[in-house]
Amino acid sequence: MRRREVITLIGGAAAWPFAARAQRPAMPVIGYLSTLSPDTNAPRLQAFERGLKEFGFVENQNVAIEYRFVQGQYDRLPAMAEELLRHRVAVIVAVGGEQSALAAKAATATIPIVFVMGSDPVKAGLVAGYNRPGGNATGINILTDMLEAKRLGLLHELVPQTAIGFLCNPRFASAESQLRDVQEAARALGVAIRVLPASSEREIDAAFETAARESIRALTVGADPFLTLNRDKIIALAARAVLPTMYEFREHTAAGGLMSYGIDVADMYRHVGAYVGRILKGEKPADLPVVQPTKFEFIINLKTAKALGIEIPARLLSIADEVIE
């Protein structure tokens, strides 16, 4: 055999593995659009990854994820959604409220979207119905906006005959409906409610100054990603002001907040991961019903109660799903 033929055969054999690798299909890419920060989102992302794994998908093994966190700056969502499209994503996960889902929906009418939001996706125009979404979007309505009245009622039971402040972010899409529900519940309970708007860290400080000046003796915090991002700050200010405060998720009471009433966030994000896995395996968002939680958690932090000098009524302790001591 001629030397040139030998070199050609060796060269061709050496190239086979490279050619095989080049022919492997590229991993599907998931676009993850969140209104939170990477740190605040971490426990939820772990739950999301568990859901993905249930359907055989593991990041960096057979699926890639492009993350975009706007950290409470809602006006950045449209640009981040468009940026994800440039990465040729197979699915967009839009979490952290209605604005995230609407930004994804405005960016694409064809790429599947799985959302997590606390308001009604039908009213928002994201889906045609709960059982048959009908378009390129489906997901979970975690009902946080609808639970504001329940939170106020539980807080009122703890501190009756007390003026209560409602800390909310007017820049959040659901702020108006949240406020309406709280005010209606306050009228029904005969409670004086004081609205404390806050769209920046400075305004959060100002809200607590107003609460002290106007002798507000308890506080309920609106369901809003920006306020969740500032969870530790709000908990610290509430402790300093000796202000009993109600929050939306267990993670707030675990971090030192007094009470929370809401859904099991981790379970919902696991469900989102499972929906994405099903879509990557060929199912269509139009055929996947919008999910609503059926289990709600009332959590009390007794250590915080003692620090505030508050005795939790026996009835509230009896109906609590968990008491942190």
Instruction: Encode pLDDT of 32-56 as tens digits.
Output: 999 999 988 888 999 999 999 999 9
The pTM of this model reads 0.87
- Cβ neighbours of residue 262 under 8 Å, at least 6 residues apart? 142, 144, 147, 223, 247, 248, 249, 250, 296, 297
Token look-up 């009390």 returns 300
Q: Cα torsion at 115, 147, 249, 235 (round to 10°)?
A: 120
Give the whole-angstrom CA distance, residue 94 versus residue 34. 6
- Choose among 178, 243, 164, 170: nearest CA to 203: 170
Query: Taking the domains of the chain in order of start, what are their residue ranges?
Result: 29-143+264-294, 145-263+297-324
Give the whole-angstrom CA distance, residue 325 versus residue 299. 11
pLDDT of residue 25: 59
CB 221 within 8 A of CB 234: yes
Q: Quickly name the fold that domain 145-263+297-324 has.
A: Rossmann fold (3.40.50)
- Choose among 258, 303, 242, 236: nearest CA to 158: 258
pLDDT of residue 18: 44
Question: Within the chain, which residues score under 70 in pLDDT?
Answer: 1-25
Token look-up 């009470």 returns 259
DSSP letter for each residue of 139-196: EEE--GGGGHHHHHHHHHHHSTT--EEEEE-TTSTTHHHHHHHHHHHHHHHT--EEEE
Give the whole-angstrom CA distance, residue 294 versus residue 121. 17
Bridge partners, residue 245, by sequence: 219
Distance between alpha carbon 217 and the CA centroid of its chain, in Å? 28
Helix (H, G, I), strand (E, B) or coil at 297: strand
- Cβ neighbours of residue 216 under 8 Å, at least 6 residues apart? 163, 164, 165, 194, 196, 210, 243
Give the whole-angstrom CA distance, residue 255 versus residue 252. 5
On the question of a common fold for 29-143+264-294 and 145-263+297-324, the answer reads yes
Helix (H, G, I), strand (E, B) or coil at 135: coil
| CATH, range 29-143+264-294 | 3.40.50.2300
- Choose among 277, 268, 312: nearest CA to 95: 268
